[in-house]
Amino acid sequence: MGILSNIFSKIFPGAHAANAPAGTAPIPSATPASTPTPNTTTAATAPAPGAPAAAAMTEVDVEKMLNDMAQKSSEKLNWRTSIVDLMKLLGIDSSLAARKELAKELHYTGDTGDSASMNIWLHRQVMNKVAANGGKVPADLKD
C-alpha cells in the first residue's frame, strides 16, 4: 500500500477498494477477491471516465477531523501548512525518505533535494487528492 493510500485510509477509514483514488493501491477488503485478469486490475484502480471518484464515499469534514485529532495530540502539530505535521498527526512515517516516496507517487517533477519546495507541493497535492475523493477541505488548502 502506498503512502497516499495510507493517508486515505486514515481520513476515510470506511473506504473500500472501489473508492481508492486512481493510481493508488486499493485498500484491502475483508472478503477475498477472485484473481483479476490484467485488464481488470487496471479497471479496478481507475474510476470510469466521467464518473466521480468519490461517488460512493460519504463526504468527510477533513478540517474538523484533523483539528479534533490535533487537539488530542501531545505535540503541537500544524497540519494546515506542514506535510510533516499532517503525516505525524495521521500516524504515518513523515521522514524525508517517506516524503520522497510520496512525491514519487504523486509524480513530483521538482528537485527532491529542495525539501521545502517539495513539502509545500506535497501538502497542496494531498489536500487536492483528499478533496477530489470526498473530503471537505478548506478552499485555501487546495488549488
Whether residue 103 is predicted with pLDDT greater than 90 in this model: the reply is yes
pTM: 0.71
User: Which residue segment(s) compose the domain that 31 sits in?
Assistant: 3-45
In terms of domains, do 22 and 82 share one?
no
In terms of domains, do 66 and 39 share one?
no
In terms of domains, do 21 and 76 share one?
no
The rounded distance, in Å, linking the Cα atoms of 57 and 20 is: 10
Q: Give the up-direction half-sphere exposure of residue 45: CA atoms within 13 A in the CB hemisphere.
A: 16
Whether residue 13 is predicted with pLDDT greater than 70 in this model: the reply is yes
Nine-digit cell at 58? 460519504
Residue-level pLDDT at 15 = 60
Residue 51 domain-assigned (yes or no): no
Supply angle C-alpha 1, 64, 81, rounded to 5: 70
Give the tens place of pLDDT for each residue, 29-68.
333 333 334 443 333 444 444 444 444 446 899 999 999 9
Does residue 86 contact residue 123 with C-beta atoms inside 8 Å? yes
In terms of domains, do 12 and 78 share one?
no
| Cell 517533477 -> residue | 109
In terms of domains, do 20 and 67 share one?
no
Residue 72 domain-assigned (yes or no): yes
DSSP code of 135?
E
Rounded mean pLDDT, 87-112: 97
Domain count, the chain: 2
